[in-house]
Structure 1
Amino acid sequence: MIRGKVRRSQLVAPFGPGAMQVLADGTSVITAGLDHWFIPGEKLDQEEFRIHEWRLERHLGVEALYTPPDHRSAFKSSPDQYNTKLQVPVLRFPAWSFCPRCRELTSHPLHIADRPRCTNPDCPKQKASWAPFLAQVPFVALCERGHLQDFPWVEWVHKTANPNCRSPKLKLRTSGGGTLASQRVVCETCHGDRGLEGITSVERPNREHEDETTYLTTHLENGTEFSCRGAMPWLGLATAGEPCGAPLRGSLRSASNVYYALVKSSIFIPEASSAGVDTRVLEALEEQTIARARANVRDVLEEGDILTASRLRRAAKKNAFRLADFTDAQVEAALSILEGPAEASLELTAETVGDQAPFRFQEYTRIRDTIDSTELVVREPRAGYAKDVGQLVSRVRLVEKLRETRVLWGFNRIFAESPNPDTAARMALLRRQSPEDGESWLPAYTVLGEGIYLELDPGRLAKWEVGPSAQNPAVQDRLAPIAQQFQTVARERHLAERQVTPRLVLLHTLAHLLINQLTFECGYSSASLRERLYVSPGIDGMNGLLIYTAAGDSEGTLGGLVRMGQPERFEEILRNAINNARWCSSDPVCIDSHGQGPDSCNLAACHSCALLPETACEEFNRFLDRGLVAGTLSDPELGFFSSLA
């Protein structure tokens, strides 16, 4: 039996539905769709895996969020044990394999349970006491719309989409080189022979034609395009209902662009103010067994009925002791918050998912003030900050406790960012059949942590964005190359248009500089910290950033990050970050750059000064420029923090 182990959080990203991974025995598998993650049965209690995050549920238009199931052995001593032997199914993919001895290519079903061995009677090892295990081919084919299929070996070697060769016997030969030119597929039946050089290449029909095609699509058969068939092997579908028609691209199965998880994250904020409600009651109501009882009662309530304390106590049965210390009035006051009327769900469109500003604004309005709840604790610093820092940074908040929920709502292939019209289609890739009303859900997981939130002075920021004068807008001129380059990239990839503003680049670069500095000051690794930007245009727009721990283990809650936000410590960290930004070890090449980094959308930002691990950055390490933070060699006063010594 082919099986392996993986962390539950990794089944959200990077090994969610449609993603490939290699197990310990060397078998390449693809994670199956959500249809078969929780198989209904007598001993299944799916509510145990429920994550309560009201904002994400409404934003993504689903009824629930669940953590991937964990595997538990069944014990005879506990016959009533629930949720035992749960597994996330995987399928063996690619289906094509070759013998490392005789090089014969063969195909096997996706659901094969054991590692296949070579059955070729002419294989040299067949004469021995055992036949060699087959190795899966290293190549697959995919398209931008998220489809994935085996490389078309039979069609490629015969140079036609409809080969006439009867009983083709294929072999994958290699000349020992490290390039695709050294790989050849041979048909011994009709003596066809063809190399694999160019199968991963992209082509344009002509220079004026904006749409790209691929070498595999245009050259498999002369005069005819071989496009994607819409295969989705993780759902058990060899083809879609209708042909996809998108250009098909060859790829190594281990290439990083085969799967990009689309993850939406949220900092939990209470649905309503918890003033006057004992936080202990809220904690008791959100405890796993009581939350499950609330869900059971909610399912049988008639329209207009209210969940009362007495009804909840009866539903909780033997777990009702968790509410014994509280009166009915206390319980019902807390239930009015947790079970309040829900807002209308948002329709999942490119605008609702792609535009971060409306979704982030809810967090922005709560996290910039003090709050004390079971899942979010935000406090003011115990004293004021130095005058020079206070003039530039108008607000600092210490986030002593937060809970971040990360949800997988789709995935991309080839490009990390989703094209504008395909948002709903990306979510549809996760399951074979559309869920019935009231049963839609997505996989998610939570991490606990802490952080530092800060805002820039809105008045100074507005004046700085305009520049020293209308006739000499130095900030806008500095930003122009980044904005123009991103518009070019967006047109080529059909991405949603967005405005690259000076405050976005300023806050984003400042977050990177502070994270790099905090790794030296408080001992966190850069991969354990994460940025969260709150940016929108206008003098009354958002201009904040949150730096918080993103680690899923104890490293995320050690308390060191919050201490770095206290007066005296924070001023020193900010000054050191700005001073280090004034000179990079790659200067003057870095500071004088006209475009570098991913998609050439950075100016003065490189691995020596401002780049972070991809897991820590929200913008794929784009839209960075130290010049807008600390100034440039030719204009030292250009930066927003140029006056900070």
Structure 2
Amino acid sequence: MKVLRQNQYNQGVGKYKLLSSTSGVGSIITTKLGSYVLISDINKWRFIKWANSKIEVIRTNNSDDRKVYELSKSEISNRGIEFIDDQRFIKFIKSEKKLENLVCLIGIPHMALNESFNTPNWKNHPIRTALERTGEQFEGVSSHYMINGTHFPKWFKNSDGELKLIKEWFAIWEKECRKYPDTLKLDNFSPPRDALSKKAFIREINSKNEDGNPIKIREYKTLEQTNLILICPNGHLSDVPWANYLRWKTEKYLRLRREEDKGENLMSNEMVGPCCSNPKLKWTESKTKSEGYGSIYIECNSCGLGSGSDKDKPKINLEGINSIEPYCIGQKPWELDLDNPTITPYENCYIRNDNKNGREKMRIALVTANNVYYANGFSSLFIPIYLAENKSKELIDALKIIEERYNKRNSTNPITKEDYWDKKIEDDFDEFLSDNGIVVTVDMENFKKQLKSEFLNVISETNVDKHEEYRWQEYRCFSQNSLINGLDDNKGLRFKDIKLPDELTDFFIKIQQVEELKVTNVQLDFTRVKPKERIVVNGAVQESSSGQNIFSIDSKELYTLPANETLGEGLFFEFSNEKIDSWVSGNINELENRFGKYLNTIPDSNSQGLSSKMKIYNNKYKHFLIHSFSHMMMRELEFSCGYPTASLKERLYISTNPEKQMSGLLIYTAEGSEGSMGGLVSQGEPEKILEIIKKGLERSINCSSDPLCWESEGQGIFDLNLSACFSCSLVAETACEEMNLGLDRRVLVDEDFGYFKSIQT
């Protein structure tokens, strides 16, 4: 039977894709029906809205953040929704996104669809079972655990070329339903259908209603969605105002507008306005389409503009539409109220870092173009917070409570930290501990001194690179611990050192088998036109754009975010800094000649790819060495244990910061990958790891593109790779943290300056 009902718009989208670099809130998904749907912000996702309201009640009734966290965990878990327990990550997001009241992260539910009616497979779903067990409604609420969206673009045309907004087509459909109440329903409008054209009606077909009784349904032709939109560097999104465009293009053609006018005021009804008070637009395409946009014509059947009927109404096509640059009006259609989609939310939009507050301009794009959407995500490797911060649990709890109380007091009655400690803590320290359930198992006086020191000397976050600090915590955990058994306190993390083969002891401090790990991914925000770049210059962090939030409510009212948690395994390598330093000093002339163009001059602040260029500039030769080794290992694992590189990911720990020296990497299994059951860890056995490294180095000597690749002086995007191409060094884009940039296999195996030249077979 033909697609006739609203549930046919239900479509499977992987939950990992929803938090990937190419999809998420604000992205446009192409459906199986060929139409385009814009994913709504998380506050339109009903399970997020529910969780947020539950946590708000818990916070209102409890002042202790530890109790709020535990009660939220119980409330959410009891209803079958995954509660992601990573307090280190929550602390980071609160600081990074200024979400001061964020409590927890919850997993995106997996909702499989039945093939028959495109409805959720709800009967045996664990969430349904959990709801039933708690005595809550469980019938008819499956849609609450699905992701919502709205049609975008809003313009649709029928087979006669009549062009209207979807709300206008729906109004026509409502009238048609009133004509045929027994055979036509409102939900038959999905996908959007034409009830205007004389040729729209196709036939009546036999079907069945919800009760299984036979009925007849009228079938109509479907509408075709346009595929041109306007995008803004600040993340805003707008439909092309076609009636305004028709008038503007006509006036340009008749030379009534300046030659340099690029449609800056196209979005303004006061400055341009529609072609007439009641536009009836028609879209006509040449059958050959040989002239591109020049073969698409637009006219108005009401006022005749664009019809070519006389010299004041010339034929108007879309030629040159790529050059229009209308001022952005700050629309955010992903925040539409789905139950009342009459007003598109908006905000003022100005050019970022422009002292004159100039208005930002939009540009035309195809819905499917790559520059329509760039998600800015962040992944966290689970590390227990006491291990990450290198402090006892009791100290962390006590410090958190004191800081919360101090900040609350300071917001109404400012006081120095020293005075607060003296007046509120010093003389009543035992009472403070007992009131908050803090049991100190070490020397009390030392604990008190340490707590006071931590409270009074908290480092200002303005001088800290939070991303580097976050990676440093992970690196330090691996570096300072030889064994973690995955006990209750650190469940989800288990690793151990291997005995290094003698031939590797000069090059590595340690290699670890990470038998169990958890990685959590969230989406922080998104941009359009250009990806958001994070640039570190002389220790100062700059961001190329601010990005659009994935939530629409006040940040102080946001208590939870959606996330994906994946389990896996991996191998951790810690390079010897001493060996790297001696290698650099012993081969400085060769390395200077080879990498000098990247390292001798700070990259131009206006150049493309500045983020990648600055990472290479900041981390020097170490970046090429560790990153190239990582790719060599991932490619070699394809041969040694059958992992395709798309099933692996790298996590680079590289820094030349004297206070946070990092020289390591983690290779781990990615979400949805095949084989997280010990296959990767087994390759870290001492007798295997040396063989894998040797074979990988041997393969790095030869490339099917040699000698061009070996002798290359720059290839890849921005010429940031040297001897590295798809044949020898590059891996799947999802596996690499640095977009396959900053690679050179010669730094590993060159017979003159290669880091590993002494252990090659």
TM-score between the two structures when normalised by the length of structure 2: 0.66
Q: Which runs of 5+ in 2 are unaligned?
A: 1-5, 56-74, 95-101, 112-121, 171-186, 205-218, 249-262, 267-271, 307-313, 337-342, 351-358, 389-430, 442-450, 536-541
Q: Which amino acid in 2 is paired with 1:10?
A: K
Instruction: Identify the residue that residue 611 of structure 1 maps to in structure 2.
Output: 730
Instruction: Identify the residue that residue 80 of structure 1 maps to in structure 2.
Output: 135
Q: Which amino acid in 1 is paired with 2:90?
A: E
Aligned partner (choices 506, 511, 515) of residue 400 of structure 1 = 515
Aligned partner (choices 632, 642, 650) of residue 513 of structure 1 = 632
| 1:392-420 CA distance string (max 9 Å, x none) | 22311111111111111112223233366
Cα distance 1:102–1:510, how it changes in 2: closer, same or farther (>3 A)? same
Give the Å deviation of 1:593. 2.0
Give the Å deviation of 1:183. 4.6
Are the aligned partners of 1:485 and 1:600 in contact in 2 as well (CA < 8 Å)? no
Q: Which runs of 5+ in 1 are unaligned?
A: 201-214, 218-225, 275-301, 310-327, 331-339
2:705 corresponds to 1:586: yes
Q: Which amino acid in 1 is paired with 2:327?
A: S
Instruction: Identify the residue that residue 173 of structure 1 maps to in structure 2.
Output: 284
Are the aligned partners of 2:493 and 2:518 in contact in 1 as well (CA < 8 Å)? yes
| 1:297-332 CA distance string (max 9 Å, x none) | xxxxx99777879xxxxxxxxxxxxxxxxxx999xx
Distance in 2 separating the partners of 1:154 and 1:589: 54
Cα distance 1:82–1:393, how it changes in 2: closer, same or farther (>3 A)? farther
Are the aligned partners of 1:534 and 1:544 in contact in 2 as well (CA < 8 Å)? yes
Distance in 2 separating the partners of 1:52 and 1:531: 23
Give the Å deviation of 1:627. 2.1
Instruction: Identify the residue that residue 193 of structure 2 maps to in structure 1.
Output: 117
Distance in 2 separating the partners of 1:457 and 1:28: 52
Instruction: Identify the residue that residue 108 of structure 1 maps to in structure 2.
Output: 166
For residues 421-570 of structure 1, the aligned pairs below 5 Å read 425-426=546-547, 428-436=548-556, 439-466=558-585, 468-469=587-588, 473-482=589-598, 487-488=603-604, 491-492=607-608, 497-498=614-615, 499-537=618-656, 541-552=661-672, 555-570=674-689
Give the Å deviation of 1:570. 0.8
Give the Å deviation of 1:190. 0.7
Cα distance 1:494–1:475, how it changes in 2: closer, same or farther (>3 A)? closer
Instruction: Identify the residue that residue 24 of structure 1 maps to in structure 2.
Output: 32
| 1:186-234 CA distance string (max 9 Å, x none) | 113312644444545xxxxxxxxxxxxxx221xxxxxxxx222211110
Are the aligned partners of 2:573 and 2:665 in contact in 1 as well (CA < 8 Å)? yes
Q: Which amino acid in 1 is paired with 2:485?
A: D
For residues 4-19 of structure 1, the aligned pairs below 5 Å read 4-13=11-20, 14-19=22-27
Cα distance 1:510–1:126, how it changes in 2: closer, same or farther (>3 A)? same
Instruction: Identify the residue that residue 149 of structure 2 maps to in structure 1.
Output: 90
Aligned partner (choices 364, 367, 378) of residue 478 of structure 2 = 367
Give the Å deviation of 1:574. 0.7
Cα distance 1:556–1:270, how it changes in 2: closer, same or farther (>3 A)? farther
Cα distance 1:441–1:457, how it changes in 2: closer, same or farther (>3 A)? same
Are the aligned partners of 1:265 and 1:407 in contact in 2 as well (CA < 8 Å)? yes
Q: Which amino acid in 1 is paired with 2:620?
A: T
- After superposition, the CA RMSD in angstroms is 3.7
| 1:108-166 CA distance string (max 9 Å, x none) | 24997732222444x64458775421121122221221111223333333325213521
| 1:41-87 CA distance string (max 9 Å, x none) | 99995454321112211111133212124554668976814674323
2:367 corresponds to 1:259: no
Instruction: Identify the residue that residue 390 of structure 1 maps to in structure 2.
Output: 505
Instruction: Identify the residue that residue 293 of structure 1 maps to in structure 2.
Output: none
Instruction: Identify the residue that residue 39 of structure 1 maps to in structure 2.
Output: 49
Instruction: Identify the residue that residue 186 of structure 1 maps to in structure 2.
Output: 298
Distance in 1 separating the partners of 2:601 and 2:710: 18
Aligned partner (choices 266, 271, 274) of residue 385 of structure 2 = 271
Q: Which amino acid in 2 is paired with 1:628?
A: V
Are the aligned partners of 1:153 and 1:185 in contact in 2 as well (CA < 8 Å)? no
Distance in 2 separating the partners of 1:31 and 1:482: 40
Are the aligned partners of 2:43 and 2:551 in contact in 1 as well (CA < 8 Å)? yes
Q: Which amino acid in 1 is paired with 2:85?
A: H
3-state SS of 2:757 partner: coil
Q: Which amino acid in 2 is paired with 1:108?
A: I
Cα distance 1:359–1:127, how it changes in 2: closer, same or farther (>3 A)? closer
Instruction: Identify the residue that residue 329 of structure 2 maps to in structure 1.
Output: 229
Q: Which amino acid in 2 is paired with 1:117?
A: R
Instruction: Identify the residue that residue 65 of structure 1 maps to in structure 2.
Output: 105
| 1:487-542 CA distance string (max 9 Å, x none) | 24863477595425110111111101110010111111110111011011167711
For residues 186-205 of structure 1, the aligned pairs below 5 Å read 186-188=298-300, 189-191=304-306, 193-200=315-322
Are the aligned partners of 1:512 and 1:610 in contact in 2 as well (CA < 8 Å)? yes
Are the aligned partners of 1:258 and 1:414 in contact in 2 as well (CA < 8 Å)? yes
3-state SS of 1:56 partner: helix
| 1:566-589 CA distance string (max 9 Å, x none) | 112111111111111112111111
Are the aligned partners of 1:146 and 1:429 in contact in 2 as well (CA < 8 Å)? no
Give the Å deviation of 1:485. 10
Distance in 2 separating the partners of 1:98 and 1:612: 43
Q: Which amino acid in 1 is paired with 2:509?
A: S
Equivalent pairs, count: 554
Cα distance 1:69–1:484, how it changes in 2: closer, same or farther (>3 A)? farther
Distance in 2 separating the partners of 1:607 and 1:477: 24
Q: Which amino acid in 1 is paired with 2:296?
A: R
Are the aligned partners of 1:398 and 1:565 in contact in 2 as well (CA < 8 Å)? yes
Cα distance 1:194–1:503, how it changes in 2: closer, same or farther (>3 A)? farther
Cα distance 1:526–1:193, how it changes in 2: closer, same or farther (>3 A)? farther
Distance in 2 separating the partners of 1:98 and 1:179: 21
Percent identical among aligned pairs is 27
Are the aligned partners of 1:265 and 1:406 in contact in 2 as well (CA < 8 Å)? yes
Distance in 2 separating the partners of 1:40 and 1:429: 19
Distance in 1 separating the partners of 2:290 and 2:523: 36
Are the aligned partners of 1:481 and 1:595 in contact in 2 as well (CA < 8 Å)? no
Are the aligned partners of 2:244 and 2:275 in contact in 1 as well (CA < 8 Å)? no
Give the Å deviation of 1:271. 2.1
Distance in 2 separating the partners of 1:616 and 1:454: 17
Cα distance 1:524–1:460, how it changes in 2: closer, same or farther (>3 A)? same
| 1:432-486 CA distance string (max 9 Å, x none) | 222335x4332211111111111222212012234535xxx32133123345899
Are the aligned partners of 1:464 and 1:475 in contact in 2 as well (CA < 8 Å)? no
3-state SS of 2:386 partner: coil
Distance in 1 separating the partners of 2:600 and 2:85: 41
Cα distance 1:626–1:109, how it changes in 2: closer, same or farther (>3 A)? farther
3-state SS of 1:362 partner: helix
| 1:590-612 CA distance string (max 9 Å, x none) | 12222221232211111111111
Q: Which amino acid in 2 is paired with 1:231?
A: Q
Give the Å deviation of 1:559. 0.7
Cα distance 1:181–1:345, how it changes in 2: closer, same or farther (>3 A)? farther
Aligned partner (choices 42, 48, 54) of residue 87 of structure 2 = 54
Distance in 1 separating the partners of 2:696 and 2:526: 35
